[in-house]
Amino acid sequence: FNSLNHNMTLAEFKFIWYMEYSHRMWGRVVGLAYILPAAYFWHRGWLSRPLKGCVLALCGLVCFQGLLGWYMVKSGLEEKPDSYDIPRVSQYRLAAHLGSALVLYSASLWTGLSLLLPRHKLPETHQLLRLRQYAHGTTALIFLTALSGAFVAGLDAGLVYNSFPKMGERWIPDDLLAFSPVLRNIFENPTTVQFDHRILGIASVTAVTALYLFSLKIPLPRRTRMAVTSLLAVACMQ
């Protein structure tokens, strides 16, 4: 307020404050939704030994996620010498917070589905093995694309260029490698961060489409077929 937002009213501040407060409270509710039922099921002896390890890992990841959120927000409150730019959290900590959330969500979903749905016993053909490997590679690419989106958000890189597929009048912008050393551009140059996110996004959609087309050549169970088709639909919508 003293350095930048001189005209902010109390009502405008409350709007930001309640957004942050709601997010924190919701995160704590998620933590309780993990830990309390887990403790109850553990006490009743309903968890097998492997599942106990899985539950401990998930509960630990929930707590780590909260700690990482605090560490991220803390970076937005630090005074930056000789800089009165818009206050923002560290893009590195934001990406770590988002990444851990994606890991937590994916692990939760995988664990839940493994318990609810029996595993299909399919013949380990060469094509099926290739499909599984390609699916894992596509997953890693989508995860990397999401993390690059955190850097876009953290640096407000989406405001730099608003045209697509070109960035301004050029396919490759002039300031793509403006920072030194070169590696710093990938994480701190808003132009490079937006450029990388575009490339990764296009690559992810291409990989998902190729995965879907390859799956058509293999006889798959209905559930797997539905999953691959849904993946393509969500990728296109995204």
pLDDT in tens, 134-175: 999 999 999 999 999 999 999 989 889 999 999 988 999 988
Which residues are registered as beta bridge partners of 170? 167
Look up tokens 């094509």; give the residue.
127
Tokens 């993390």 -> residue? 147
Considering the entire predicted model, what is its pTM?
Answer: 0.86
Spans of all domains in the chain: 9-117, 118-237
The segments of the chain whose pLDDT lies below 50 read none
Residue 118 is predicted with a pLDDT of 80
pLDDT at residue 153, as a whole number:
92
Cα distance between residue 213 and residue 210, in whole Å: 5
Task: Give residue 85's pLDDT.
Answer: 65
Token pair listed for 114: 């493994």
| Nearest CA among 65, 75, 74 for reference residue 96 | 65
Q: In the prediction, which pLDDT does 204 show?
A: 97
The whole-angstrom separation of Cα 232 and Cα 62 is 29
Cα four-point dihedral sign 214, 218, 219, 224:
negative
pLDDT at 78: 73
Secondary structure of residue 44 in the 3-state scheme = helix
C-alpha 216 chain-centroid distance: 28
